[in-house]
Structure 1
Amino acid sequence: MSDAVYILGGAQSDFARNWSREGLGIHDMMAEVLFSGLDAAKLEPKDIQSAHIGNFTGELFCGQGQLGGIFASLHPDLSGVPTSRHEAACASGSMAILAAASEIEAGRYDLTCVLGLEYMRNVPGKTAADHLGAAAWRGREYDDVNYVWPAAFADVIEAYSEKYGRVSYDHLGEIARINYENGRRNPNAQTRKWEFNDRSFTEDDEANPVIEGRVRRNDCGQVTDGAAVVFLASRRYAEEYVKARGMKLSDLARIDGWGHRTAPMTLTDKLTENRNSRFVLPQINTAIRECFARAGIDSPFQLSAIETHDCFAMTEYAAIDSYEITAPGESWKAVEDGTIAAGGRLPINPSGGLIGLGHPVGATGVRMMLDGYRQVTGQAADCQVDGAEKVGLLNIGGSTTTIATFVVGRPG
């Protein structure tokens, strides 16, 4: 039987920072979050047995690859530590987690470091959007649009509308509003000080202009500089860790389940493949169901909260029925009745998500895991969901090309 995987803690950067304006580079970002995480988890560099780096576009934004070598340069005790870098667009961090967890499950290592990071605010916004378009299939899709990903998820809106009836902007705007409001409570949120008015989440072209199709400015996740780190451990290491610190195993978090799927690259191929499915994007539901089976649960309402990918409000809208919180095509019901709001039956993105907290692409999956850990260990401060015991995570790359899901729980 494979070993259980425990989460010892970690850290994230302040997603409101612009590292280029501070005169700092991607290596500074990596170092700062790593040492903050080691301090928070009460670990030393010499404790790390392997490291996995999640990053999407270091070469495009910074001209920098080989990030594992930078990691090994950050402290003398890290020289010689085996490292790997993982890329799957916005799911890069989750791929790093899956690889690190598999090493623990296989018995290769007892303590692994997973660090995700992205440095993106050193170029103009249009250039950033073009770089991020590398997760689409160049020459085959979205070559004729200004902004690739708003256009892609505008097409998802249309696909939902065609299958189930028109998606109302009232519901998309409310999803965005909730996530910005949640972000106000998060001291690391990029948008925590942003101001909105009563027209900001409506179809008002001045207060909330169109970006592409039916996607509007305030529906969009942020272009963000940031990093996050978590430390994963075997049961043997976790037991020694808590004993040495006067803790209990139940003071930690554990990865209870995971799911991983890769769909065809283009959105057109996905929609064609799935035309006879109950879901517009059924591979998301499949990955969630696989994760639930591994975690020993069969309903989303056995979760206390969900941290989901909301690169756009429509992405979260699609996640709601993919989690089977509602029937397919009825995600709007969970928005209208308050299910997903803070204090609702199943809060989504208490952190603020990609819209409210921010979206440093390679860090997002790792940040979600850190927030899952904080929720189930009661360390989420003003973002805390009362009595959180299990948290679902959904991280996607591209137009739902790479799909990663987790359930984070508290050991009994």
Structure 2
Amino acid sequence: MTRNVRVLGGFQTDFSKNWAREEKDLTALFTETLQGGFEAAHVLPGEVESAHVGNFTAELFCDQGHLGGFFTAAAPEMAGTPAMRHEAACASGSMAMLSAMAEIEAGRYDLVAVLGIEMMRNVPGTQAAAYIGPPAMWAGRECVGVKYPWPHMFGKLGEEYERRYGLKREHLSAISKINFENAKRNPNSQTRKWGFEDASFTADDDVNPVIDGMIRKHDCSQMTDGGAVVFLASDEKAAEIVARAGRTLDDAPRISGWGHKTAHIGLNEKLAESHDAEYVFPHVRSAILDMYKRAGITTTDDYDGVEVHDCFTPTEYMAIDHLGLTAPGEGWKAIERGDIALGGKLPINPSGGLIGCGHPVGATGVRMMLDCWKQVTERAGDYQVTNAKRFGMLNLGGSATTAAAFMLDRD
């Protein structure tokens, strides 16, 4: 029988920090993340049996690969612990989690660390855009000569929604505004101290300029330095650790469902394949339905909130209907009803998401899981969803090439 996988909690760095400006490197970021996780989760370094790291482009930003060896560098007690790195663009952290889950389910190990990390603010913005552009898309075939590749690509997703169903600027702006407002409640968010005015969420070219196509400044996620770690455990090990901390298994919710799909790397190819389909990204919908089935749920009424991949506002707009909160192409109805706001029917990104909280690429999937854990254990502070017992997440890599969905469930 497959064993349960429980989440013991973990740690997230302050996503507003610029580590290079503080003359700190990737090793320092990794160490703070891991050591903060040990303290927060009441885990002893020597009892971790396996470790996984999610990272996208440390070779380009930091001239550093082979990140599995950083666990021992950050915690000498972990010497000899098997470790490996995972890459799937913005879904790198989720791939690390899936592998860690499989090890526990198979009975190989009882306690596994999953850490996501990215350092991205140590180079100029145009250089950073080049580092995260071609490597995650079809290099040499997409966005050749485009200054900001990802705004261009997800602008095309918005254009596809506009073509199929119609799409209004006001609905994309509402997504942005909600995420920035939520981020102000999050003490670790990158934008919590940013100031906005009413025009910031309009088509005002001065305060919200066009980046590419329909994508404006405040439609975009952030370039972020950051790390996040969670610890996954079997029932037996989880019971031992929470007892040590004077807690109960309510503080170690289980991953009740997951889904994982991979599509063609090219965006145009994905859109062509779905031309006559009900959903713009059928594989994303399929990953979500797999997660629902494994979790034993059928609709968005069966859980309390969700962290989704809002690398740009059209991506979150896509997630709304793919989750089933509305019919395809009708995400605007959920926005106008207030369903996605904190306190709504299905709060989306109470943390602030990638737009408000920040997007250190390899860390994002792990950060999402940590926020799900905070919600179902009532540790989310000012952005807590009332009485949350089940929380979902949807993490995407590339132009939604990789899709990973998870459900965290307090028994």
Give the TM interval when normalised to the shorter protein. over 0.9
Aligned equivalent of 1:151: 152
* CA distance, structure 2, for counterparts of residue 194 and residue 243 of structure 1: 41
Structure 2 residue aligned with 1:185:
185
SS at 1:182 equivalent: helix
The whole-number CA distance in structure 1 between the counterparts of 2:245 and 2:324 is 40
Q: How do residues 255-266 of structure 1 correspond to structure 2 at under 5 angstroms? A: 255-266=255-266
**How far has the Cα of 1:54 moved from its partner?**
0.3
Equivalent in the alignment of 2:143: 142
Offset of residue 343 of structure 1: 0.9
Where do residues 94-243 of structure 1 align in structure 2 (5 Å cutoff)?
A: 94-133=94-133, 134-165=135-166, 167-243=167-243
**Separation (CA, whole Å) in 1 of partners of 2:245 and 2:71:** 27
Counterparts of residues 41-120 of structure 1 (less than 5 Å): 41-120=41-120
Instruction: Compare 103-112 and 234-243 and name the one that shifted more.
Output: 234-243
Amino acid at match of 2:140: G
Which residue of 2 is the match for residue 372 of structure 1?
Answer: 372
State TM-score, norm by structure 2: 0.99
Q: Following TM superposition, by how much is the alpha carbon of 1:150 offset from its aligned partner in structure 2, in angstroms? A: 0.3
- Matched to 1:369, the amino acid is M
Q: What is the match of residue 32 of structure 1?
A: 32
Gaps of 5+ in 2: none
Q: Distance in 2 between matches of 1:277 and 1:66?
A: 41
State the distance in 2 between where 1:245 and 1:224 align.
Answer: 32
Distance of 1:7 and 1:221 partners within structure 2: 27
Amino acid of the structure 1 residue aligned with 2:266: T
Structure 1 gap segments, 5+ residues each: none
- In structure 2, the CA distance between the partners of 1:5 and 1:119, relative to structure 1 (3 Å rule), is same
**How many angstroms apart in 2 are the aligned matches of 1:21 and 1:240?**
41
Residue 140 of structure 1 aligns to which amino acid in structure 2? R
Q: Check the 8 A contact 2:54/2:95 in 1, yes or no.
A: yes
Give the drift of 1:378.
0.5
Q: For the Cα contact (< 8 Å) 2:43–2:241, is it kept in 1? A: no
Count of matched residue pairs = 410
Q: CA deviation at 1:239?
A: 2.1
Paired with 1:251 and 1:77, the residues of 2 have a C-alpha distance of 25
Query: Helix, strand or coil: the match of 2:151?
Result: helix
Structure 1 counterpart of 2:5, one-letter code: V
Q: Confirm whether residue 386 of structure 1 aligns to residue 402 of structure 2.
A: no
Kindly provide the amino acid, as one letter, of the partner of residue 312 in structure 1: F
SS of 2:279 mapped into structure 1: coil
Taking only aligned residues, the RMSD between alpha carbons, in angstroms, comes to: 0.8
Tell me by how many angstroms 1:364 deviates: 0.3
Residue 74 of structure 2 aligns to a residue in which SS? coil
Name 1:282's counterpart in structure 2: 282
Name the amino acid aligned to 1:156: L
Within a 5 Å distance, the mapping from 1:307-346 to structure 2 comes to 307-346=307-346
The Cα offsets for residues 328-361 of structure 1, whole Å up to 9 and x where unpaired, read as 0000001111000111111000000000000000
What residue is the counterpart of 1:11 in the other structure?
A: 11
Counterpart AA for 2:65: G
Q: Partner residue of 1:291? A: 291
- Cα distance in structure 2, aligned partners of 1:75 and 1:95: 23
Residue aligning to 2:301? 301
Whether the 8 Å contact between 2:34 and 2:74 is mirrored in structure 1 is no
Cα distance, 1:76 vs structure 2: 2.3
TM-score, scaled relative to structure 1: 0.98
Partner letter of residue 270 of structure 1?
K
3-state SS in 2 of match to 1:19: coil
Distance 1:61 1:275 in 2: 37
SS of structure 1 residue aligned to 2:199: coil
| Alpha-carbon distance in 2 for matches of 1:409, 1:233 | 14
Distance (Å, rounded) in 1 between the aligned partners of 2:239 and 2:13: 28
**What fraction of aligned residue pairs are identical, expressed as a percent?**
55
C-alpha distance in structure 1 between counterparts of 2:291 and 2:56, whole Å:
24
1:56 CA displacement? 0.1
Question: How many Å apart are 1:83 and its aligned residue?
Answer: 0.3
- The one-character-per-residue Cα deviations of 1:189-223 (angstroms, maximum 9, x if unpaired) are 00000001110011111110000100000000000
List, as ranges, runs of 4+ consecutive aligned residues in structure 1 with deviation greater than 3 Å.
243-246
Question: Equivalent residue of 2:392, what SS?
Answer: strand
Give the whole-Å Cα distance in 2 for the aligned partners of 1:178 and 1:74.
Answer: 37
- State the secondary structure of the residue aligned to 1:20: coil
1:355 matches 2:355: yes
The whole-number CA distance in structure 1 between the counterparts of 2:341 and 2:361 is 24
Structure 1: how far apart are the matches of 2:216 and 2:47? 46
